[in-house]
Amino acid sequence: MSETITLEARGRVRRRKLVNRLMEGLAALAALAAVAVLAVVVVSVLQRGVSALNLDLFTKVQAPFGETGGGIAHAITGTVILVLLATLMALPFGVLIAIYVSEFAGPNVARSIRLALDVLNGVPSIVIGVFVYALIVIPLHQQSGWAGAFALAIVMLPLVSRATMEVLALVPATLREASFALGVSRWRTVVRVVLPTVLGGVVTGTVLAVARAAGETAPLLFTSSLYANSITTDPSQALPNLPVTIYIYSEAPDKTLNDQAWAAAFILLLFVLVLSVTARAALARSRRRFEGR
């Protein structure tokens, strides 16, 4: 009597399928929880700050003591200047470090530099703030935009370098070999062939670093927090900025300032979200282009 052959999962095979579905469900639930936390944070901040979101918030500075209204135009302007200066400091050094590690350094040296960058990326930002405070603020006896930008540049440096290293590793070796075959030196090959190819990835890493630096509070508390409530563009003076303004306004007894703190937090959060999404989309596009070659 012949046995009936069936494709139905039984015994151990069935248990494996059940375990696989269970783990897939748990992973999907964890991912959904992460997205839900982000959504809750955004919605919660928006609900608390929506009453202060108006044109005055973007065009006026803090109202004098005893008066209502005002805005955070001074903080927005100062944040833009700080982040711009920090980018100008971190971008060239970060790219040069990545070029050296990827194109010129030996394996042991490259490994050591990568480790140093990873450690620097993990250093708490408040430690960086204390370091810059001791290095620049104390000798000069004043806070300044330069000190704040330098602290943010340190935060940005490992992000720019590591992102640039990743895209340099995606460049096909045939491009370099073709350039060498034409008698072009290694340095000119890097400048004329490799860098133009990875320009999109470098920009992507820079945008991610800007998003990280724009939200840093601790370094600026030590380097650029004693500022006037007016629009200032001189980096030799302490520059107003959104993170410190949010911290100060959130502790103020005035409910209007509390609402503006929530509104400023939403603006900063939205800025970071947009930059992060844009950067990751550009990076994915750059990787697909390399992989298609």
pTM: 0.82
DSSP category for residue 5 = P
CATH number at residue 61: 1.10.3720.10
Looking at residue 1, its pLDDT comes to: 47
Mean pLDDT, each 10-residue run in order, the chain (293 residues):
53 78 90 90 88 85 72 90 94 92 87 91 92 93 93 93 87 80 81 81 84 88 88 89 90 86 89 78 66 56
Specify whether the CB–CB gap between 84 and 148 falls below 8 A.
Answer: no
- Tell me if 3 is assigned to some domain: no
- Tell me if 39 is assigned to some domain: no
Looking at residue 5, its pLDDT comes to: 54
- Tell me if 112 is assigned to some domain: yes
- Tell me if 200 is assigned to some domain: yes
How many domains are contained in the chain? 1
DSSP category for residue 70 = B
Which residues, 6 or more positions from 241, have their beta carbon under 8 angstroms from its beta carbon? Answer: 75, 78, 79, 82, 148, 220, 224, 227
- Tell me if 78 is assigned to some domain: yes
Q: How many helices (H) does the chain have, and how many strands (E)? A: 14, 0
Looking at residue 2, its pLDDT comes to: 52
